[in-house]
Amino acid sequence: MTNNTEIAIDSLLTANGVTINDIEAAFSEFEGKSIDLADFYFQKVVTEGYALEEGIIKNGSYNTDMGVGVRAVCKEKSALAYSDEISKDSLIEAVRTVRAIGNFSKEKNITKIEKKAPPSPLYQPVNPIELKSTEEKIEIIKKLDQFARALNPHIVQVMTTIAAVHEVVLIAKRDGTLVGDVRPLVRVGISVLAEKDGRVEKGNSGGGARFSLDYFTDEKLQSYAKDAVEQAMQNLEAIAVPAGIFPVVLGPGWPGVLLHEAVGHGLEGDFNRKGTSVFSNKIGQKVAAEGVTIVDNGTIIDRRGSLTIDDEGNPTQCTTLIENGILKGYIQDELNASLMGEKTTGNSRRESFATLPIPRMTNTYMLSGEMEPDEIIESVDYGIFALNFGGGQVDITSGKFAFSMSQAWLIEKGKITTPVKGATLIGNGHEALLKIKLIGNDSCLDSGVGICGKDGQSVPVGVGMPTLRIDGLTIGGTD
């Protein structure tokens, strides 16, 4: 069976008349320069998407983006040049552009490229765009629309979307490594509006994976429709949330976005190397309550945030960041790991060949504890239960965060009672970790919709957590 490296060579090199000898010749242009690392990142991305509103296709897109990025690194300095043409001439020209970053050296540096067998793939090298016709793709979101409308007569508007991505990457490194990956990605989304007695509220849902579009079975589409409709209908009955300091219970799965934003970014190597994270220089120290273990795991089969190899050609791994409340390590790419005297954790990611790789999360989540979720709810006399979050803001340096809750209820005398709206969760990521009191046994990842932004680059990620009770959090309310 042809491995992903061979597929990438055929798609990105052979199809464009570039040979292994051409890559070696391009690397030879670095001769006489003392450079810590250099790599070529070849990429082709094809995306297709459609949006359905009121039963009509309101938007459709099909895009192809292809090119090569050349990077050179000397100590803390990085240089990048890129071309949207893959050819021997454009590759050599890009090398000549970035090589000025290196110091003069009398050493001769000869690169001999060797194809490297990639790790066992975490997803099949399918092309989700080609496997279904346009009509079949549109039929998926039409079904989703119909399922939602059939659930409740108060649903007055439905918007559904579908997107498919076929990405092929090939990484050539100055140490001779040549390794590739084929990355499918699909996603479906639904947004509904419900109206009752002149009041209108919104509900959202969706999911995705590194899979073909066959992932979206009728059963899965029905679950997305049900979640969106229930959220909208609950918000129609919601009351203004009280403001104050309460115990807060976070539901499993998507609320892990709070960990991702308020904690995960603070554990990325670049922020800690520069000393700008609240977690800088705290390895071995207690930073969370006992029982809190958080990992970043890029190796989960078919998951949205998973990668067989990262964007420097290294296998992804499961990295324990916090173990039983103790800070164990950071998320690293090659550059920051080298400067910090550590090893890469396989977390180098880049949005495209036109951007520099930086340390990024993959699937970041908290492991399960021992308590039943119902027991956690029953332990709260008066507080808030949050199942879904909307937008949020985080300050990496201080750890302060503010997140809007898109689906939440009051907890009264150990029972979930009235839905509330307008709630904002305000706190500090480091302090919130220490305030965790109870950890459920139901840890899970989100449905596959996460997108992470950093330094102007967006990449797909996964988030997750078990049901948690956190005491003493501030709720900014409207009542």
Delimit the domains of the chain by residue range.
Answer: 4-236, 240-476
Q: What is the dotted CATH code of the domain comprising 4-236?
A: 3.30.2290.10
CB atoms within 10 A of CB 418: 13
Q: Which amino acid is at 160?
A: T
- Tokens 């066959």 -> residue: 214
Task: Note whether 385 and 377 are within 8 A (CB).
Answer: yes
Q: Is the pLDDT of residue 173 over 90?
A: yes
* Mean pLDDT score, 298-312: 98
Comparing C-alpha atoms, which of 262, 51, 73 is closest to residue 161?
51
Q: What angle in degrees, to the nearest 10, is found between the helix axes of 88-98 and 20-28?
A: 20
Place 106 in a pLDDT band, splitting at 50, 70 and 90: low
Bridge partner list, 177? 114
* Mean pLDDT score, 11-18: 98
Backbone angles phi, psi at 105, to 5 degrees: -145, 145
Q: What percent of the chain has pLDDT over 70?
A: 98
Place 337 in a pLDDT band, splitting at 50, 70 and 90: very high
* Mean pLDDT score, 227-248: 94
Residues 194-207 have pLDDT tens digits of 999 999 999 999 99
CA 92 vs CA 13, 25, 87, 108, 111: distances in Å? 14, 8, 9, 18, 14
Question: What was the pLDDT predicted at 37?
Answer: 92
**What are the structure tokens assigned to 76, written together?**
């803390």
CA–CA separation, 251 and 259 (whole Å): 13
Between residues 55 and 71, which one has the greater pLDDT? Answer: 71
pTM here is 0.95
Q: What is the mean pLDDT of the chain?
A: 94
Comparing C-alpha atoms, which of 12, 41, 57 is closest to residue 349?
41
**What are the structure tokens assigned to 19, written together?**
């040979």
- Tokens 């309310």 -> residue: 477
Task: Note whether 45 and 167 are within 8 A (CB).
Answer: yes
